[in-house]
Amino acid sequence: MATSPDQSIAMSLDAMGQKAREIRATCVQLAFDGKQGHLNGAMSSVELLIALYYSFLRCYPGQIAHPGRDRFVFSKGHACKSLYAVLADRGLIPRESLATYATNDSHLPSHPCKHALPLLDASSGSLGHGLGLVTGMAYALRLDQNPARCVAFLSDGECNEGSTWEAAMFAAAHKLDSVLAVVDYNGVQSVGRTDDLTGGASFEAKFRAFGWATRSINGHDFEQILSALAAVPFEKGHPTAIIAHTKAGAGVSFMEDQVLWHYRVPSREQVEQAFAELGARPIYTRGPT
């Protein structure tokens, strides 16, 4: 058993930028191959996931149940194309498995399932559960004197769910500073814009009012993301929320900030156009069809 985690991989900002383009191209290819929508929320999360998996989360490749791993719940399960692409790029799942995305009996269904992919710390797809689950894990890990951190990756839309705020209350009450919430604030929900539905109240102010330490960043700027992650926990004794301002469909002009791309599956022409704009190709090759 590895004694030290495979936590951080040295990479230049340029290399990270290139990786982000490849992951985006992979998301587009996955949407096309799997005939699945939910692309815009995948595209908005790319830099955040790369930064988390390459420079923050303690991972033990090949030892999925290692007690020292940081716990990670990708709560916005519908957007899992980016998660699968980053897991494959990071070597935590085989790259060739991406070609099975959303097909019969795949390890990579259209919403992540722990029964299909045991390395997940929880299944997702039903919104508003991720933050609560990691608070329970964090409470247990503290009893076990295990310093592993517990990260929930949330969409801004799923913060509509009241359960997110029950969890926020609990984490603050129990001073769970091993808990990190990353909010992918892309501004777009399923049928509308987040701020219109929430009254536009600031996420940072809301989490702070619940007793959290917070910081708002540009969720597409690796420098800002890495510097925020390096400062976690922001305050001892307080859970941390990073409010990452992002753009739905980021990186592809015709998808950016469009509610429509919560649903749409790209055509072959749109896939090629996306690759051209990104200047990148997917990290996997589609199998014979």
Partner 1 sequence: MRRAFSQALFELATHEGRLAFITADLGFQVFDDFEKRFPSRYVNVGVAEAQGIYVAAGMAAEGWLPITYSIASFATGRPLEQIRFCVSYPALPVTLVGAGRGYTYSTSGVSHHAVDDIALMSALPNMRVVIPGDPGEIAQLLPQVVASRGPSYFTVGRFGEPRFDAEEQAILDKARLLRGGKTPVAIFTTGEMANEVLAAHRLLTAQGIEPRIYQLHTVKPLDTATLEWVATEVAAMVIVEEHLPNGGLWSAIASWHAAANSTVKMKRLGPPDRYALGTVEHGELRRRLGYDAQSIADTCRTLCQTCT
The Cα 267–Cα 32 span in angstroms is: 7
Q: Which is nearer to partner 1, 147 or 287 (CB)?
A: 147
Q: Which is nearer to partner 1, 10 or 143 (CB)?
A: 143
Identity of the residue numbered 187: G
**Footprint on residues 170-189 left by partner 1 (CB under 8 A):** 170, 173
For residues 181 and 234, the answer to whether their CB atoms sit within 8 Å is no
Q: Which is nearer to partner 1, 111 or 193 (CB)?
A: 111
Which stretch, 37-45, 167-175, 199-207, 236-244, contacts partner 1 (CB under 8 A)? 167-175
For residues 184 and 41, the answer to whether their CB atoms sit within 8 Å is yes
* Tokens (6 digits) for 51: 């930064």
In the complex, the smallest distance separating the C-beta of residue 280 from partner 1, rounded to whole angstroms, is: 35
In the complex, the smallest distance separating the C-beta of residue 153 from partner 1, rounded to whole angstroms, is: 15
In the complex, the smallest distance separating the C-beta of residue 250 from partner 1, rounded to whole angstroms, is: 29
The Cα 19–Cα 256 span in angstroms is: 19
The Cα 258–Cα 255 span in angstroms is: 6
The Cα 247–Cα 255 span in angstroms is: 10
For residues 178 and 149, the answer to whether their CB atoms sit within 8 Å is yes
Size of the site for partner 1 (CB under 8 A): 26
The Cα 109–Cα 102 span in angstroms is: 4
In the complex, the smallest distance separating the C-beta of residue 264 from partner 1, rounded to whole angstroms, is: 27
**Footprint on residues 215-274 left by partner 1 (CB under 8 A):** none
Q: Which is nearer to partner 1, 144 or 223 (CB)?
A: 144
Q: How far is CA 274 from the centre of its chain?
A: 21
Residue 159 found at the interface with partner 1 (CB under 8 A): no
Residue 162 found at the interface with partner 1 (CB under 8 A): yes
Query: How many Cα atoms within 13 Å fall on the side-chain side of residue 282?
Result: 24
The Cα 226–Cα 200 span in angstroms is: 27
In the complex, the smallest distance separating the C-beta of residue 125 from partner 1, rounded to whole angstroms, is: 8
- Per-residue binder mask for partner 1 (CB under 8 A), 101-140, x = binder: -------------xx-----xxx--x--x--xxxxxxxxx
Residue 167 found at the interface with partner 1 (CB under 8 A): yes
Q: What radius of gyration, in Å, describes the C-alpha atoms of the chain?
A: 18
In the complex, the smallest distance separating the C-beta of residue 111 from partner 1, rounded to whole angstroms, is: 11
User: Which residues would be at the binding site for partner 1 (CB under 8 A)?
Assistant: 114-115, 121-123, 126, 129, 132-141, 143-144, 162-163, 166-167, 169-170, 173
